[in-house]
Structures are given as structure tokens and as C-alpha cells.
A = this chain, B = another copy of it.
Amino acid sequence: MLNGAPYIILVNPQLAENVGMTARAMMNCGLYNLRLVNPRENHLCDKAISASSNASSILENAQVFSSLKEAVADLHHIFATTARRREMIKPIYLPETAMKEISQNIENARYGVIFGAERTGLENDDVAICDGIIEIPLNPEHTSLNLSQAVLLIGYEWQKLKNTRDGKILITNKTEISTKEEVLTFLDFVENELDKVGKFDNDEKRPRMVRNLQNMFVRADITQQEIKTLYGVIKFLTNKKEAE
């Protein structure tokens, strides 16, 4: 678990709704500290609160400043987010690299990530005072993002650092994956039932069919509960056969 988190700083946001949606995106990503530089609309108006969904607390705690310099005065490192390359000598980060750098130092330093106004983005003067630029890797022909979506993608990379889940897990709830013995015993049962029905035991296609069944059931990561369901299906089918 990370202690602390970067400040999210919106410069000249135009629409209260976007500020509200930004708060919601921040809440989704475990970011709670919002700073606003000269917002055009009141960030506590109904539109903003409504757009924030359940994140109005972030709006209520937001700090408002009249210049970017004031908004970053007490911070140690600040990143500008921009899709436009500038004629500036500045390190350009992928979002995940910037978030990793922040997380490694967040206990000893205060960080901010700065977002420009809708449409116009950040001014060169704003970018110049930043330690680095975060460039979100998007379709190069369509990089224009809604303000809250830019915040969401940066926040997502922040929240991802806290994830401890594996990339792919099988949720089995109250049951477990069958052991090889359980799967193979079931397949023996199927073979037996097939043999009972007819000439399958003498068929030259038999070995291939058995291998096909093995391949399929092994691949399916079948659970104990599912094996029970399958026994039920086969028994139901064969009882029906016998009853015919």
C-alpha cells in the first residue's frame, strides 16, 4: 500500500461538469487531492456535484488558486500532461513510468500532475516549470481526450501500482479445480458408458476419440462441481437410453 498520492492540478478548467467527472475518476483511482487554478465555473455547483457521482468529497476538499505557481508552491516535483510536443528540452514519460517514479519517492516528496484547459491544453509557460512531461500513448491520429479521461488514464496507472492480483486467475468460488485423477476417472466412466451402448469398444476410432476427450477436458480446467454436473448429464442420458 502506498502512502500519499500525487496532487491532481487542473489549470483553467472551463466546465464544472468536467471538474465533477475528474473528481469521480480520481475516486476510482484512489486519488483524493484536487487543486484548481482559476476554474471558470464554481466547482461546487450542482452540475459539478452531480457529475462527480459519489466523489463530491473530493470537490469539497479541493483547493482553489489564482496561478499555477501558487498551486505548486509547496510541491517538490510536478509533471505536465500534454499530447503536443513542445520545443522544450524536457524528459517525456509514459504514464506508468511517471507513476512508478512518483510511488518510489512519494514518502519523501510531494508530487503534482498538471492538466490544461479543455481544448487549449497547457501553455508553454506552464510546461516550462514542470520537471517532466507525461505523454499518454494513444492512437497518434486521435490523441484528443476529454479532461476527465486524461485524469482517469493517469490515475489508472497510479491505481495499477497497488494491484496485487495476477493477470489471469480462475475463480472457482466454493469448488476447486479437479485433480488429474478426478478428470481421468470421469473420462473412464464416459468410455465405459459408451462401451455399454454399443460397438465403441471395438472401433478403430476409439483411441483417437479418447484422446480428443482428454484434450478437451484437460484444456477446460474443469472443477469438481462441474465434473459432478457432467456425471449427472451422462447418467441422465444413459438412464433415458435404458428406459427407452
Interface residues of A (CB under 8 A from B): 21, 24-25, 27-30, 53-55, 85, 87-94, 96-97, 100-101, 132, 135-139, 142-146, 148-149, 152-153, 156, 159-160, 162-163, 165-173, 175, 221, 223, 225-226
Contacts and interface: CB of A to CB of B under 8 A. Distances in A.
A24 to B, nearest CB: 8
Contact of A142 (B28, B167, B168): B28
A187 to B, nearest CB: 19
A145 B27 CA distance: 10
Nearest to A93: B168
Given A27-B139, A88-B173, 4 more contacts: A28-B139, A28-B143, A89-B175, A137-B160
Given A163-B137, A165-B94, A89 B54 contact: no
Given A153-B156, A156-B156, A88 B171 contact: yes
Contacts of A30: 139
- Closest 3 pairs between A and B when the two form their complex, measured CB to CB: A97-B167, A137-B163, A30-B139
A54 B156 CA distance: 24
Given A89-B226, A144-B54, A163-B94, A139 B29 contact: yes
A138 B159 contact: yes
B173 A159 contact: no
A94 B167 CA distance: 5
Contacts of A170: 89-92
B85 A171 contact: yes
Contacts of A96: 167
Contacts of A142: 27-28, 54-55
A118 to B, nearest CB: 12
A90 B175 CA distance: 12
Contacts of A136: 156
Contacts of A138: 28-29, 156, 159
A25 B149 CA distance: 9
A100 B167 CA distance: 10
A92 B143 contact: no
